[in-house]
Structures are given as structure tokens and as C-alpha cells.
Structure 1
Amino acid sequence: MSDVGLILILVVLVLGGVIATVGDRLGTRVGKARLSLFNLRPKQTAVVVTILTGTLISASTLGVLLLASRTFREMVLNFGRIQADLRATNRDLDKVTADLKTTDQRKAEVEKDLEQARSERAQIEEYLKRLNANLQVSVARQRETDAQLRRTEAQRDLTRNQLETVSQQALSLRNEINQLESEQQALIEQRDQVKAQIAERDAQIAERTALIEKRDREINERDQVIAQREAELKTLEQQRAFLVAAVQQIQQDVEQIRRGDLAIFRTQVLSSGVVRVVEQGGAKAAVDQLLQLANQTAIESLRLGQNNQQIVQIPIAEVQNLIQQIQDGKDYLVRVQAGANYVLGDDRGVVVNMSAVPNQVVFLAGDTIATQTLEPSKLSPQDFQKTLQDLIAASNARARVAGVMNDRLEVEKLLSLGSFIDQLRRYPNSIELRAVASDVTYTAGPLKIELVAVQDGQVVLRASN
């Protein structure tokens, strides 16, 4: 409360007290003097004086307030207008309060949508991570299946070509045999004619005899040629039967691959490892361990259950030659591969082959494996995903050509790949996407790559950042 207000209250209280005191004394004197006003009794006159005194107190108080306080004066004189303004202000306040509540509700909804969007983004990133992992597995399996199918179809086409060649040769031999038989028949008829004419042509006996002997020799030669052709025809028919059986087997393999019944592919790696022999007998121990791993892999692939028998088969001489090869103390990648195709449940034994190649450096860290040029802002999510798949497939193909024996390919920083893609899509101009070796890669693999975006020869974005 201000000083003016306090003084005003004090003045009102003092003035009221003074007026009340004056009124009281005036009433007392009027009563004692028994004065009369307006022809009233003295007692009624005293009452009138008292009423006038109270009225004067109220009037003086109101007058002091009206004169001293402009706010009070405006409030008393403009009470209706102030009350109307107050009601309008209350209505505006209610409206503002309602708008504030609506704004708060909208803010809550926006925050809820934002939280939901963040949750969906986290789910999308998790789904992208699983999708990349599944993609790697699917690409590897599809690559093995496609490679096996291509080899099988190539072998089938080669066998069919050989079969057609053998059939043509057999047809040609049959035509030659028929021609030789016709010539033989003609020679026999000629010989019979000569023999019939011997009696009539005694003078020509010597000449005809020589001619007959010549014809006989030709017949014998033709007989020998016919016998040789028949032997060749029999051999070709055996080859044809073998090739027909091989074609049927290849067709069965192709059908098994397409149906998914094939458990082990020909040349499939059942076990592998990098071996360096530093102790006497270490080579044999390493080879035995790889064969045991291959045996366990074969049992699991064929789904033979808890089967501890030795189903992997390999010639002892091949194992001994491999042991001799890897005993020089160098690093070798030793692989155990299936020698044929085997279906699920086949427990007749798995024939395998073993090979060893030096484990050498194929790529250094930072080497560019494959590149793709693209315009990120113009690509749909499907096209962008296909571009990444093509880049990964090209990297895998380059690794195989360069000598990496492991078909598995690892993409570094999968957790930040989603953020890398989001940032890459913001670039409006053409950009070069490179798959770069993130570590030294040996023959044994696997190849580890990192995705790098390059523009005008400068690296502008890395998946590892």
C-alpha cells in the first residue's frame, strides 16, 4: 500500500472521529437545552441532529475519497462501464485460457507424434540392421546356388553337346556300315558272277582268278573295316548310354537345387582354416581337425541327427600329399570341399577333396574394391537399395576374381548405415559411392568393406563417421 493511501485512511478516520465528537456534543447540548427544530420535540430534535451528524460523516468521507482518489472517483462515477469492461476482460481471459488449453493439447499431440516418429525411426533402423544381415546371408546363399546352378547347367549343356556329337558319329558309322554292306553284297554278286563264268571262260581263268583273289582281299578288308566300325559303334553306344545317364543325373541335380532338397553342393566348402606348421606332426593334426569339422558339417547339413560315424571319405594318398605340401612353415589356406551333390538324409558317405593355397595379401586397407555413380536425391528407396546391393555384389565378385576364397563379405559400421544413407540422400548432385577395404584382406578372407561417398575427388561422407 502506498503512502498516499495510508494518509487518506488516516484523514478519513480522524475526520470521522472529529465529526462524531462534534455531533455527540451538539446532540448533548440540544438535549440539555431542550431545543426544538421544525416544531419537533426536543427528543426528536436530538435524533435529527444525530442523523444529520452521521450523514455528514458519510458525506465527508465520500467527499474526501472522491477528491483524494482519482481511481475511486472513476470507479464510483463509471461503475457500470468498468463492470462491463471487466466482464469483457473476463470473457477475453476465458477465451485466451481456452486457446492456451487448445495450444497445450496440440503441443501434447505434437510431442506424442514426435515421440512416435522417433520410435518408428528406431524401429526402422533396427529393421534396416536386420535386413542388411539377412541380405548378406541371402546374397551368400543365392550366390552359392547361382554358381552351382550355372556350373551344373554348363556341364549339362556340355554333356548334351557331346551326346549330339556321339549321336551324329553313330549315325555316320551306321551309314558307312550300310554302304560297306552294300558294297560287300555287290562284291559277292560280282564274285558269284565270276565263278559262274569260269566254265565258259577257261582262257580267262588266271585273270579271273586274280580278280577273284583281289575281290576276296577287298572283301576281307571290308569285313575288317566293318568289324572295326561295329566295335567303334559299340563303344560310342556305351559312351552315349553313359552320357545319357550323366545328363539325367545333372537334370536331377538341377531339379534338386530348384526344389531345395540338395543339402550339400559339389565343391561346397565343408571346413577351412589357415594353417602354419611349426612343430613335427602339426600338419597331420591340423588336417585331422579340418576333416573332423568337415564330417560334423556334413552330418548337420544332411540332417542325420546325433550321428557320430565318419561319413567323410577321402583317399589317403591325397591327404599325405597335402601334408607334405604344407610342411614348409608358410601360411596356407586349407579347404575341405564336397566332391559331389548330396541330398537330405543321404548317409552313404560324402566324398571330399582337400586343397591348400598360400594365404597371401589380396587387398590393403584403403584399396577401392568397387564403385557406383548415382544421384541420391533422384533415387527412390527401392532404387537406392538396389544400388547398394549391386555395389556389394560387385565387391564380392571383385574379391573372388582377385583370389579371396571366402565368399562372405562384411560391411563395417552397420549400426550407422541408416544415418549414412539419410545424409547421402541430401546431396543434390551426382556422387560416387565407393566400397573401400577397411582392413588388410588375405586369401582366407573375409573381405571387410566401408562405404565412402566421393565428390570431385574429395571424400565428403563416410559410413564410419
Structure 2
Amino acid sequence: MRASFSSFLLILSIILLSGVIAYVGDFLGRRIGRKKLSLFKLRPRYTAFLVSIITGILIATVTLLVLSAASEDVRTALFGMQELREQLNSLNQEVIARSLELENTKKRLEDYQSRVQELETKERELQNSKAALEEQTRLLGETVAQLEKQRDELQQELTSLRAELARLRSGIVAIRQGRIVFQDDEEILRAILPGGMSEDKAQEALLAVIRKGDQLALQKGAGRHSETGQAVFVPEEDFRQAIDRIHNASNDVVVRLVAAINSLQGEPVIARMYVDENRKIFSQGEIVYQKALTIDEETNIDALLGEVLRELNAVGLKQGILPQEGKVGIISASNLTEVFQELESIRGKIVLRAVAEEDIFTAGPLRVRLEVLKEQTPEGQATQSEQGGQNDTA
């Protein structure tokens, strides 16, 4: 606003000054014309022209001087035009150069932007690769952890196998030296317990069986466990199953404590528990076994009785009588001697039979009495044991 007012004042001043100069020039021209004055020996008419010309020159000169004094731009336009042209040309050249530089810069910028896009794409790919590598690293870490766990388990298993190997070697040595307390699957003891007991009472009864087994094992040379102090160890699973079977049984049961492995002298015995229903198999006086035989001079009575005892043992096992030391039958020595003597004195066909001396149950033993019948059983006729529904040995 201030610059516009100054310009307006300058223009107004120039107009007023030009008017004053024109007035003075006109006034002088008229005076010269009236008085017919002459300048430079010119005619008055030409002198008046000269004054008008000088007046115009003065107006232009004063205008230029005032404008030059008032504005630097006017001075530059009047006296620095060439320099301005040169500067303009220089600026034009610089603009062209800058334009070229700008074009080059734009191209470089486009290249940079393209490279930036490529780098961003590569960065995304690297991020994806990084994520994949991290996932692989995590999976590898889990695999390493699993392998280390397997290695530890294998080392523990190896240690256990080495210990087992050492134990087996010592067992072999012990077997060679005869230092086995109980052999694998050898019965330690058996007990008959009432079925249907409560679980607590069944547990107490089984613990009593184990304590008795401890005493027997210690008497035979077994050692106590370093932590529990027991000579007989029964796995928890077998123990719980035995309790359940006793609790659920409706009749008396036979509980057998059996060595699970060969037990060395001085070591605790690892045992299993077997629970079987103690059912009646033979009644007192019932024929358990009978066989038709022919006795002559060449008959070996010892071999004959041995074969009969083996067959009698097989009958007991087949009927479900639990063996003791691999045998189920018991015959008194006096009865066996009597039968032996009787067979030595007989020639011809006879029937040898075994009769139960008492009620015989699953727990055994198969206690029988041998009898020799001189009457021959007709060929094809069923024996008394077969008629009673029992399994006989031919």
C-alpha cells in the first residue's frame, strides 16, 4: 500500500513539474514572440521554436532525472539494459542448464524410485525369507530339543541296558556258581484267601503274604532293597490287580507269589502275584485216573509207575490244579511201595487207578491213593472217571 502511494505521488509530482515547465516554456515563447527576441542570431519565429523544443527537452530530461532519482529500476532500465540483457542471457543459459540438470535429476530420481521399489520388493522378500528362516530355526530348535531328549532317553536306556547286561552277566556267573535264590517263574509261596473281601482287607491280606514271602526269601539268602528294606518286591500294577480280583471273587481264591526273574543271592526278589479261584476239582473218593495194563516178566515196574505218575500229573494240570515245583500230585511213600510190591507179584491184565484221598481244589495238591484191580476193564467200556465226566489219560 505504501509503495503504491509513493508511486502515485511520484507520478503526480512529474505531471505537476512537467506542467510547470511547459507553462514556463510557453510563457517564454510568447514573450519572445511579442518582443521579437532572437537567440543565436535566429529569427524570432525560429527562436520561439527553439524555446518550445528546449522546453520539451527539459520536460523529458527532468522526468528522466526525477524517475532516475526516485527509482533504481528506472536507472537500471536506462543505464543497465545491456547488462540486464547479458544477465538475462546468462540466466536463460542457467535456466536451460538447470532444466537439463532437472531432467537428469528427474531421470535419476526415477531410477532411484525404481531402485527403491526393487529394494522394497527385495526387502519384502527378505522379510518373508527371514520369517521362513525364523520358522525353520524354531522347528530346528524343536527338532534339536527332541533329538536331545531322545539322546538323553537313549543314554538312560543304554545305562539301563548296561546295568541289565551286568546283572545278566552276574546272573550267569551266579547260575554257574549255583547262587540263584529263586529261578524265573518259581513259586515262592501260596495262600488261600476268602473272596469278596473289601479292598482294605484284601490289601492287608496281600501285605501279610508279601511279609511271609520276605521271611522265606531272606531264609533262602535273598537281600533287602536299599530303600524299602523288603526282600520281595511286587509291582504296583500286579498288587492292585490282585486286590481287585480278590474283592470281586465270589469263592475262595489262591494267591501265588512267583519270582518274575532269576533272583540272585543277596539281592531282593522281584515277584508277580497270581490270583485264581480255588474251585473244587475232585471230591474225596472220586476216581481221578485209571489205566488198563498188562504185567509180564519183562515189565519194568519202576518205568511203569514213573509213566503213570507223569500221566497223573498231566491230568491234574489239565483239570486246573496249580503246580508246585512243576508237580501237582502227591502219593504217600507207603502206598507207592505197596503198589510196587503188588505189581511185582501180579502177571496178566490189571487196572491201575488213582482215587482222591480228600477233596481236591485248584490250590492242590493232587493227593491220591493208587489201587490195583485184578479185574480187566472190558475193551471199549468207559472207565469210571469218564462216566463221572472227568478227563482220563489212556
Taking structure 2 as the reference length, the TM-score comes to 0.46
Rg larger in structure: 2
Higher helix share: 1
